[in-house]
Amino acid sequence: MFKDFLVSTPDEKGKITTQTRKTQAGKTVYVLYEIGRTYNAAKKYNIPHRVVIGKADPNDPEKMYPNEKYFEHFPQTVEKVEPIEENSLRSCALEIGSFIVIDKIIKHYKLDKIASAWFGRDPASFWT
């Protein structure tokens, strides 16, 4: 999962590449970090091994949204994090998901009726 803050794209010469992929929302540019190479003797060339370390910011190509792999390979940059001014980039479905699960549990086990019997008031006011 990509973080909701920006960091500077690392300046590792020859190790950082980008890859553009088409998505439903348009084009997304991923930042990849080369962690090694394997030489293929039969074909006589190196095969790079890369991991995605983040997503490029569409407004500023020098910045990126990091993921967990970024902090594995660049632990020294943890304190250089820049917060985003905008709201969270999470889906509203993710934000309401926990509420729906808790509401289903309350209704399934009839906890609202149990609580109203114990506390003697409207169960809706108890849960809010």
Report pLDDT for 13: 85
Question: On the CB side of 29, how many CA atoms lie within 13 Å of its CA?
Answer: 13
Q: Which residue has the tokens 């490029």?
A: 56
Going by C-alpha positions, the residue among 60, 15, 10 that lies closest to residue 35 is 15
Q: Which residue has the tokens 């020294």?
A: 76
Report pLDDT for 109: 92
Which residues fall within 8 angstroms of residue 42, CB to CB, at 6 or more apart? none
Identify the band that residue 122 occupies on the pLDDT scale cut at 50, 70 and 90: low
Write out pLDDT tens, residues 91-115.
656 667 788 888 899 889 988 888 8
Q: Answer whether 0.75 is exceeded by the pTM.
A: no
**pLDDT mean over 110-126:** 73
The one-letter amino acid code at 84 reads I
Report pLDDT for 101: 87
Write out pLDDT tens, residues 52-93.
999 999 889 899 999 988 988 888 766 555 555 555 555 656
